[in-house]
Structure 1
Amino acid sequence: MLERGYGAVGYDAVAPNARHLVLRHDLDMSIDAAVTTAEIEAELGVAAHYFVLLRTEMYNPWSDHGRRQLDRIAELGHEIGLHLNASLYPDDAAALDRAAAEECSVLATLTGRPVEMISFHRPSSALLGRPDDIAGRSHSYQPRYFHDIGYCSDSRGAWHHGHPFDHAAVGEGRALQLLTHPIWWDRDTARDPVAALDYFRAERDNVLMHALADNCEPYRAARGASPDESIEPTNG
């Protein structure tokens, strides 16, 4: 995209008829994969928006490791926003607004930085194109970011809106919001979603085994201080 004359800008600076690229990354599964992406972008001299889930089983942004990784992303010049799972809250605009405000406050406390943008995790059709702010903040599916400019996403590990280079907005030299999920582009598993998720699961299993060894004497006595990730579970 950079070679086609596009420049990366933030949501607040995008102009529909300019070669502006809004880079968005939703952290659905891995903060570590996001750091890799953030470092590559920093080397290219571009800044992006990284949206973090707070209520997820996939990672813990409050762990020492998680906080260090988020700090690293911010130190590289990227913006950190909230990735809000609206399905966890009542289907009521006021309730969702309160929940978003609370999660933004928590994320701001975690990162020590203001949270100014929200993206929705697996949004319902009612949220796509919603014109109103939420919790006093813009969100990535408002018409000016979702309809007035081009939109392209790699959701579920594939370009369901077509490849970015083939997007009509790019062909016309107009602005584009490009959403990618770092998990799909990490390591050599790129372009194979199942392989990427298998690798991610193995990494998480390894982290859990080492945490058990660090914190549970019987497990450490049986498996050692550095358990082998290939250990087969026992019956019973």
Structure 2
Amino acid sequence: MSCLASIILLWDGMREWLTIAFIGVERGPDDLVVTCLRDRFRDRLLWSNFKAIGQPALVAVARAGWHIQSLDDIANSIREGRFDELELERARENAKEKLAWINRLSHNMASLQGLDTLKKILANSSINVICPPCLKGFSRADSLYAHFREVGKTDQMHASLAMKQTNFVTFHAYYEMAIGAPIPSSELRHGHKCFETWFIIEHYRRDAENGEEHPDTLLSELFDFNALDDYEPTSV
């Protein structure tokens, strides 16, 4: 008996380490049939047997967006001869919607984590200003303006960003194009605040939809942190 008890305890421990992914479910003769991955191997189990695996299986169901109670109800309807295919299809659509929501939530959490990481990187870096069109970082405003003038020899947007003091109207128009969002002129007139790193991060909307950051891009991926401070200092 002690040997049998040890085997049972060992199995209970192993079940906690099983890697299970819930792929889908379909009607069987007397029960729902679950398609899943168990430790990277594809498998098909009756719903009752799948649930018997325990917590790893139930977690896999939840992660796939399905409701355990809904699957229980549908499985019971099969056993009782009152199965309705529409109920299963409705549960499948609900699972797709919930999974999409889970994925969006995961992405948002990853974006927030990326933002926290970005803050730490910037706090320990020499980057103070950003070029809006190419998103290169610089430690000094004079290096940034030298970059505008150098690249501006062949690029109108960079050339226009160097006109802040001489042609503000042109500067303003091209700044908004570079950022991809309308910016009040009052926020652009004083010093080089409009090129400061966090100002760019907060207002950058280029290549975005409906005024929001592109959903597939983390903030930390937007910027090239290779400072180009090899320009000779010049007055701004």
Query: TM-score with structure 2 length normalisation?
Result: 0.26
Larger fraction in strand: 1
Structure with max Cα Rg: 2
Larger fraction in helix: 2
Query: TM-score with structure 1 length normalisation?
Result: 0.26
Structure number with the bigger relative contact order (C-alpha 8 A, sep ≥ 6) is: 1
